[in-house]
Amino acid sequence: MNAQRILAAGLSAILLLSSCGKAPADSPSSAEKTEFLFETRKFSEFPRVATVEKIGRIVGSSSVSVASQGIGRIESVLVKEGDFVRKGQPIARLSDTVANYSIRYEQSANGLESVDANYESTKISLDKAVSDSEIALERARIDYGRTVSDAEKQLEKARRDAEKSSVSSSGSDAQTTLAKAELDYSNLVLSNAKTIENFAATFRVTVSDLKKLVSTVLFDSDKLIGFSDQNRDYNNAFEAYLGVRDSSIMPEAQLAHGKTVRVSRFLDEKSQIEVGAETIVLELSSLDGQYAIVRELLDWNIRLLENSLAATTFPQSTIDAHIATYNGYKSNLSVLENSFVAFKNSSTAFIANYKNNEASALAGIELQRRNLVSGEFDAKVGFDRAKISIEAGIRTAELAVKTAELNLDNAVKNRESTLKKLAVNRTDAELQLKQAGVELSKLQIVSPIDATIVKVIAQVGQEVSAGTSIAEISSRTPEVLIDVDAATATILKSGDSVEVSAAGKSFSGTVVGVSSVANSSLLHSVRIALSDSPDTLGSAATVRISLPNPYPVVPVSAVKILSEQSGEMTAFSGGAFVPVAVKIGKLSGGTAEILSGPNPEDEIVLTDVSNFDAKTAEPKKK
């Protein structure tokens, strides 16, 4: 029995040893990475549409009044009482005699073309600047390599010359050489001091120019939004129409105005200081970011005006004039910022180099003085001077490389930031054109639904304004009644399409009437005609309204919400998933409004990547 146990133990040991060193077939080291599929979408491609959901009740059909959405004179009435009209069929047309819808549309179209042309021309200039900087850096590196390579040869030659030379230079020659070196050094110091003095003068001009523009911008902005006590009542005549299409803009504009007021105070302080070689770089760095704050105020004021309603006390021509003024300020600001960046780069590079140049020249003078006093102004002086010259040449070449690297880095950053700003300008121009197209469509009054003309109210030649009744129509389709806030009522108009769900079914709805008078709850009644008849009148219905929004709207599932207004999205960049901090606006209907964070070209990941493991998986876009 013991022999059998010993034999079994021996066989087990042999099997165990034979298995050593062999990796399992399914070990992680031998397994290939699996594909991790995910979906992305450019941030610029997300819609700028907000969703509002309201609960209403279904009622029977009734007659409704079709009102004008625009201002002008009735040019033609295209129907008569008793006519049957289809949805979208023109009922009347207006002459563009007051609001200049056509002109504003053409201006917006030209503005978009101008933005595109400016983008292309600017991009060419920026690409050339980057290319020139790359070439300059390559040349500087080649020169540096050549200088270092030649230095050893030059130093060896100087050593041989010193050994061969046994005749000292005359005292007179030495005195003359020293005097010339001292004069050159004195001129160098004076020249550098003058350059720094010019830097100080340019700094004062830079601060003064920005201060003047900020003062002008704040003056106009204060009169527009009534920020200060002095101008609190200035905008009383038109304040009710400012930014009514999006109530979130006014608080942002006021916040941006407050930030710009602090910029003005900051510039007041900077205008009182004297800068020198030790402080110029630091003071210039302190101006970084001030231009962006001023630009933010201009952008918010423009958005405020674009989302305003024209009225008797606030005509469209005034709104357009304000927008043009702020766009002019933005152009002036860009010119000042470009000049500031160029000045900062050149002065920073000079300050980094001038002390080394002075020290090198002074070292050469001190060497000549010692040799002259000791009577050793001979060939050794020539060798020492050659050595100093060679070392100075190497330092100069090295500084040239660093300066070229700095210039390239600035050129690349300037290109990126400028193109981002131009991309934002294009988006704004597209929105202006879209809004101008909506305004232009107001010249044609159309039937919001299939209906019968009950009564023609307007007459050819009649002057009408927004809300003037043109005709009364009747339909047999059921309607949904809902109540909305003033901001939503301002944006909704007859003919707008909405989604309706009731009794487990979906219907398409059309806005046929929006009350201009609020009820006791400060809400406005909206009537929506349905495409089909639900089974039961009087039942509840959910209405989903899509409204234009100034910011991109993304699915909530694509945002990790960290707090009330902050969150995080994931971008795919450089073959990796990168977190992007975002500022969140309104949340509704399964969507989130993104106020800031991603760049327009960022690839936003829509798929959940929380379980992605780079060790075992390879990301692959669907």
SS (H, E, C) 214-239: HHHHHHHHHHHHCCCCCCCCCCCCCH
DSSP per-residue string spanning 407-466? HHHHHHHHHHHHHHHHHHHHHHHHHHHHHHHHHHHTTEEE-SSSEEEEEE---TT-EE-T
Say yes or no: 577 and 517 in one domain: no
Please, is 99 exposed, middle or buried when counting C-beta atoms within 10 Å of its C-beta (0-12, 13-18, 19+)?
Answer: buried
- Segment 521-546 shows an average pLDDT of 81
Task: Give the pLDDT score at 216.
Answer: 94
Residue 82 domain flag: yes
**What is the overall mean pLDDT for the chain?**
82
How much is the CA Rg of the chain, to the nearest whole Å?
Answer: 38
Residues 511 and 582 in one domain: no
Q: How far is CA 369 from CA 31, 163, 179, 386, in A?
A: 75, 22, 10, 16
Q: Count Cβ atoms below 10 Å from residue 373 Cβ, excluding itself.
A: 9
Instruction: Tell whether 145 is covered by a domain.
Output: no
- pLDDT value, residue 11: 41
Two structure tokens written together for 393: 């040449």
Q: Is residue 242 part of a domain?
A: yes
- The 84-85 sheet, strands edge to edge: 64-67, 469-474, 451-456, 84-85
Question: In this structure, is residue 572 part of a structural domain?
Answer: yes
| Pairing mode of beta strands 72-77, 90-95 | antiparallel
475 and 579 share a domain? Answer: no
Residue keyed to tokens 């038109």: 238
What pLDDT was estimated at residue 262?
94
> Phi first, then psi: what are they for 544, rounded to 5°?
-110, 115
Contact 566, 560 (CB under 8 A): no
Q: Are the CB atoms for 469 and 69 separated by under 8 Å?
A: no
Q: Do 522 and 558 fall within a single domain?
A: no
> Does residue 64 lie within any of the structural domains?
yes
Residue 430 near residue 454 (C-beta atoms within 8 A): no
Query: Does 216 share its domain with 333?
Result: yes
pLDDT of residue 106: 85
Q: Would you say residue 97 has pLDDT above 90? A: no
Banded pLDDT at 1 (limits 50, 70, 90):
very low
Query: Which of 60-69, 109-118, 142-151, 173-182 is least confident?
Result: 173-182
Looking at 341, 374, 397, the residue that finishes a domain is 341
Question: 403: closest CA among 351, 449, 364, 328?
Answer: 351
Tell whether 332 and 251 lie within a shared domain.
Answer: yes
Give the max Cα distance, the chain: 123
pLDDT at 549: 79
For residue 170 the two structure tokens come to 């005359």
Same domain, 566 and 534: no
Does 300 lie in the same domain as 204? Answer: yes
User: In CATH, what number is assigned to the domain containing residue 481?
Assistant: 2.40.50.100
Whether 534 and 602 share a structural domain = no
pLDDT class of 14 with cuts at 50, 70, 90:
very low
Q: Exposed/middle/buried for 484, CB within 10 Å: 0-12, 13-18, 19+?
A: buried
One domain, residues 30 and 70: no
Helix (H) or strand (E) holding 50: strand 49-59
Q: How far is CA 142 from the centre of its chain?
A: 38
At 536, the pLDDT band (50, 70, 90 cuts) reads low
By 3-state DSSP, what share of the chain in percent is helix, strand and coil, each rounded to 5?
Answer: 50, 20, 25
Higher per-residue confidence, 203 vs 367: 203
The answer, yes or no, to whether residue 53 has pLDDT greater than 70, is yes
Say if residue 447's pLDDT is above 80.
Answer: yes
Q: Residue range 528-543: average pLDDT? A: 76
Residue 5 pLDDT exceeds 60: no
Residue 369 pLDDT greater than 80, yes or no:
no
Binned at pLDDT 50, 70 and 90, residue 167 comes out as very low
204 vs 61, residue with greater confidence: 204
Of 312, 341, 370, which marks where a domain is finished? 341
Nearest to 310 by CA among 133, 98, 56, 597: 98
Same domain? For 260 and 202 the reply is yes
- Give the pLDDT of residue 482: 92
- Give a three-class secondary structure readout of 244-312: CCCCCHHHHHHHHHHHHHHHHHHHHHHCCCCCCCCCHHHHHHHCCCHHHHHHHHHHHHHHHHHCCCCEC
Tokens found for residue 499: 């989604």
Statement to judge: residues 252 and 336 lie in one domain: yes
CATH of the domain at 566: 2.40.420.20
Model pLDDT, residue 426 = 84
- Residue 413's Cβ-side half-sphere holds a number of Cα atoms within 13 Å equal to 10
At which residue do the structure tokens 């002095």 appear?
230
* Least confident span in 50-59, 370-379, 496-505, 612-621: 370-379
Evaluate whether residue 140 is within a structural domain.
no
Place of tokens 């003024």: 325
- Confidence (pLDDT) at 312: 79
What is the structure's pLDDT at 170?
Answer: 45
Check residue 49 and report its DSSP letter: E
CA angle (508, 513, 517) in 5-degree steps: 140
Look up the domain containing 522 and give its range: 54-96+443-544
**Structural domain count of the chain:** 4
- Domain limit, last residue, from 285, 307, 341: 341
What percentage of residues in the chain have a pLDDT greater than 90?
A: 19
Amino acid 13: pLDDT: 46
Sort 505 into a burial class: Cβ within 10 Å, 0-12 / 13-18 / 19+: exposed
The residue type found at 187 is N
Spatial contact of 386 and 155, defined as CB atoms under 8 Å apart: yes
136 part of a folded domain: no
Q: Is residue 90 part of a domain?
A: yes
